[in-house]
Structure 1
Amino acid sequence: MSQIVLELNHLSCGYDSHPIVQDLSLHLRAGDIGCLLGPSGCGKTTTLRSIAGFEPVTAGEIRLQGEVMSSPGQRVPPEQRRIGMVFQDYALFPHLTVAENIAFGISKHPERRRIVSELLELVNLDRLGKRYPHELSGGQQQRVALARALAPEPALLLLDEPFSNLDGDLRRRLSAEVRDILKTRGISALLVTHDQNEAFAVCDQVGVLRDGRLQQWDTPFNLYHEPATPFVASFIGQGYFIRGQLLTPDTVQTELGVLRGDRAYQLPPGSAVDVLLRPDDIVGQASSPLTATITGKVFLGATTLYRLQLPTGSTVETLFPSHDDHPLGEVLGISVAADHLVIFPAQGSVNVSAQLPLEQMLEEGDSD
């Protein structure tokens, strides 16, 4: 089993005696890339700054390679933690060349030139070592910041919203490149972001935070298919909750018919439940007696995401191949193909939207 590089044990921290992060526990294995994911103000950056040593902790502890870095009344200085940091604004020195920026943290290292040369090649900037930051693109500046953080060979690399200043296409390409670089070097890293696509593309383990509390620390696959809380289910991916009633430990009566899951749910029969349905759980079936009306659509390239209104007024979504085009207002036959059901005790209103991508990308004619 891989060595544990980072441990947060019942960590609480904040600013000016104001608690922000509470009772947070997780661990990161050597060579893994982790992520703290959540909406603005949930405590992601506060946690990262506490790990780096910039902020004290009020309870719990932070361990790096088994050694306590922070606990109440104890804090190892940031420069002694063997932690590299890539900031949101890159924080490059404008008066230093690319090579000099990378060498900044290893100025007394006897093999400084070799290390800088290797890192320039690693980040595909081997011909740009003599340039200055203002002569580089945003993506190139990000690579310089990454190389500079890697130069001292840190035990852990922290990245604070590292791609937020880049446009969408470059962001996607660079996030993949950064993952490859970190994996090539075997670097353990912890990333902070509010973008789940970025988190899933880069990271092995993702922690979803809400109001300073960790909801779930898991693989991207499990966060999507096995969400531990309704918040994780709603924050990760797309989908809608529909109300149902548990008939037996593995079957639920819903407005879409009786749905059978692949497990026994730990609720008494007769319980009101909310069933999460993802777009890939709803499939078109022309012969089905169950129908829904298309009220919105978003073209995604290979697929089209349709918002469907059921006869009861509830909403679900489905994905069709993009060449299978349907107009707004068309009535489709549908069925549910979801043996793996995600179910929670009923909360709030009957039809709670897990995410509303169509609210953000409405086409003209959408009825909502």
Structure 2
Amino acid sequence: MSQALLNLRELSCGYSEHRVVQHLNLHLNAGDIGCLLGPSGCGKTTTLRAIAGFEPVLAGEIQLADQVISKAGYTLAPEKRRIGMVFQDYALFPHLSVAENIAFGIRKQANCERITGELLEMVKLSHLGKRYPHELSGGQQQRVALARALAPEPQLLLLDEPFSNLDGELRRRLSHEVRDILKARGTSAILVTHDQEEAFAVSDQVGVFKEGKLEQWDTPFNLYHEPLTPFVASFIGQGYFIRGQMLSPDTVQTELGLIRGNRAYTWPVGSAVDVLLRPDDIIYDPESTQKALIVGKTFLGAATLYRLQLPTGSQLEAIFPSHADHQPGQQVGIRVEADHLVAFAVPGSIATQASLGESGVRRYSSDS
């Protein structure tokens, strides 16, 4: 079993009258890459700065490798934390060469040349060691910043929106490269981003933030398929809700028919619920009697993303093969094809009035 390297317990940060982060609990295992994900102003960067030692802690504590490094009234100096940092603007020294930038933080000067050479090779910049930052592209500068942060062999690496200054294709390619480099070295890391694709490409665990609170800390797969709150369900992926009524623990009646899934809920029969549907749950079926109005479309190449409106006014998104070309204003046949059921109680319904726990869900196990 992996050992937790980083622990945040009941962490609160901010100002005397305004707590940006509240009651935050998470842990990161040694060798894992975590991500703090959420909209602007949700507290993810404040959390990263608190881990780095740049932000005081109002309550709770931060523990790194069994050592408390921050708590109310105490902050271990950033330079004593064995934490590396990759900034959004790279923060390279303009008067130093690539090799000199990387070597800057190496403590053991006897091994400096060897370590610098290994890192240059790892980030694929061996041939550019004598160049200066202004002579490099954005992607190359980011690799130098990563190598420099890894040079002192930190226990934990923090990356603050590291790809935000790069264009789309380069961001995707570099995010995969960074994950490969961190995994090859066994380096634990925390990434901050608002880009879901980036978070999923790099991370083993992702924490979704909303207004200073951690909604869910989980694997990308579980965030997408088993969101614990309506916010996570709608923020991750492209999720839409339609209203339904519980017929049994694993079956809901909706305007798209019966939806049955691989989990059971403890809410009473008759409870009003909102059912989460993803674009890949909606199948184009010209023979179906269930029709939807196309109100928008986005061509994706191999497929087309359609925004659909149901007779009740509810909207969904669906991905159809690109050869099934339809125009806004047309009616199309659809059906639901989902092997899961993700539902949330409607406020004021029977389900929320009954004291049945936070999510009301009981997952099936292999013994069920």
Tell me the TM-score range normalised by the shorter chain. Answer: over 0.9
| 3-state SS, counterpart of residue 292 of structure 2 | strand
Q: Which residue of 2 aligns with 1:195?
A: 195
Does the CA contact (< 8 Å) of 1:274 and 1:347 recur in 2? no
Q: Give distance in 2, aligned partners of 1:223 and 1:49.
A: 25
Aligned length: 348
C-alpha distance in structure 2 between counterparts of 1:79 and 1:128, whole Å: 29
Match of 2:104 in 1: 104
CA contact (8 A) 1:42 1:211 kept: yes
Matched with 1:34 is: 34
* Residue identity in the other structure for 1:189: A
Q: Which residue of 1 aligns with 2:281?
A: 281
Instruction: Name the residue aligned to 1:152.
Output: 152
1:252 Cα deviation from its structure 2 partner: 1.2
Amino acid at match of 2:130: K
Question: How many Å apart are 1:110 and its aligned residue?
Answer: 1.4
CA contact (8 A) 2:12 2:57 kept: yes
CA distance in 1, matches of 2:167, 2:31: 28
Question: Are 1:88 and 2:88 counterparts?
Answer: yes
The separation in 2 between residues aligned to 1:66 and 1:139, in whole angstroms, is 35
Residue 59 of structure 1 is matched in structure 2 by 59
Amino acid at match of 2:162: P
1:258 CA displacement: 2.0
> How has the CA–CA distance of structure 1 residues 347 and 172 changed in structure 2, closer, same or farther, with 3 Å as cutoff?
farther
Please give the per-residue CA displacement for 1:67-124, whole angstroms capped at 9, x wherever unaligned: 1111112211111110000001111010111111101111553100000000000000
Instruction: State the 1:291 CA deviation.
Output: 1.0
Which stretch of the first structure deviates more once superposed, 154-163 or 5-14?
A: 5-14
The answer on 1:68 being equivalent to 2:68 is yes
Does the 8 Å contact 1:37/1:194 carry over to 2? yes
Q: Which residue identity lines up with residue 123 of structure 1 in the other structure?
A: V
| Residue in 1 that maps onto 2:15 | 15
1:124-139 to 2 correspondences below 5 Å: 124-139=124-139
Contact 1:223–1:232 (8 Å) recurs in 2: yes
TM-superposition CA deviations, 1:232-252 (whole Å, max 9, x none): 001000021111111222211
Q: Distance in 1 between matches of 2:259 and 2:108?
A: 66
Q: Could you say what secondary structure the match of 1:165 adopts?
A: coil
Task: Give the alignment of 1:285-364 within 5 angstroms.
Answer: 285-347=285-347
Q: Distance in 2 between matches of 1:237 and 1:200?
A: 11
- CA-based RMSD of the aligned residues comes to 1.3
Cα displacement string for residues 203-255 of structure 1 (whole angstroms, at most 9, x for unaligned residues): 01000011110000000000000000000001000021111111222211211
Distance between the aligned counterparts of 1:108 and 1:221, measured in 2?
Answer: 41
- SS where residue 50 of structure 1 aligns? helix
Q: Is the 8 A contact 2:107 2:152 kept in 1?
A: no
Q: Percent identity?
A: 74
User: Unpaired segments of 5 or more residues in structure 2?
Assistant: 349-368
Query: Relative to structure 2, which stretch is displaced further, 91-100 or 101-110?
Result: 101-110
Q: Secondary structure at the match of 1:110?
A: helix
- Partners of 2:317 and 2:185 in 1: how far apart? 41
2:361 alignment partner in structure 1 = none
Amino acid at match of 2:142: Q
Distance 2:227 2:185 in 1: 32
Cα deviations by residue, 1:159-214 (Å, 9 ceiling, x for unpaired): 00000011111111111111111111111000000111100011010000111100
Match of 2:264 in 1: 264
Shift of 1:312: 2.3
Structure-1 residue corresponding to 2:357 = none
| Range 233-242 or range 317-326, more displaced | 317-326
CA distance in 2, matches of 1:263, 1:98: 54
- Matches of 2:16 and 2:131, distance apart in 1: 42
Code of the aligned partner of 2:172: R
SS in 2 for 1:55: coil
- The match for 1:224 is 224
Matching of residues 228-243 of structure 1 within 5 Å: 228-243=228-243
Letter in 1 for 2:45: T
What is the distance in 1 between the residues matched to 2:287 and 2:128?
62
Using the size of structure 2 for normalisation, the TM-score is 0.92
| Structure 2 Cα separation of the partners of residues 266 and 86 of structure 1 | 46
Q: Distance in 2 between matches of 1:50 and 1:17?
A: 18
Distance in 1, Cα, partners of 2:42 & 2:189: 20
Distance 1:107 1:247, change over 3 A: closer
Structure 1 partner of 2:355: none
CA separation in 2, counterparts of 1:109 and 1:22?
42
Q: Kindly indicate whether the alpha-carbon contact (under 8 Å) linking 2:250 and 2:341 is maintained by their aligned counterparts in 1.
A: no
Deviation at 1:17, TM superposition (A): 5.0
Q: CA deviation at 1:21?
A: 0.5
- Greater shift, 141-150 or 238-247, is seen at 238-247
Give the secondary structure class of the aligned counterpart of 2:192.
Answer: strand
1:177-196 aligned at under 5 Å gives the runs: 177-196=177-196
Hey, what's the Cα distance between the residues in 1 that align with 2:333 and 2:112? 66
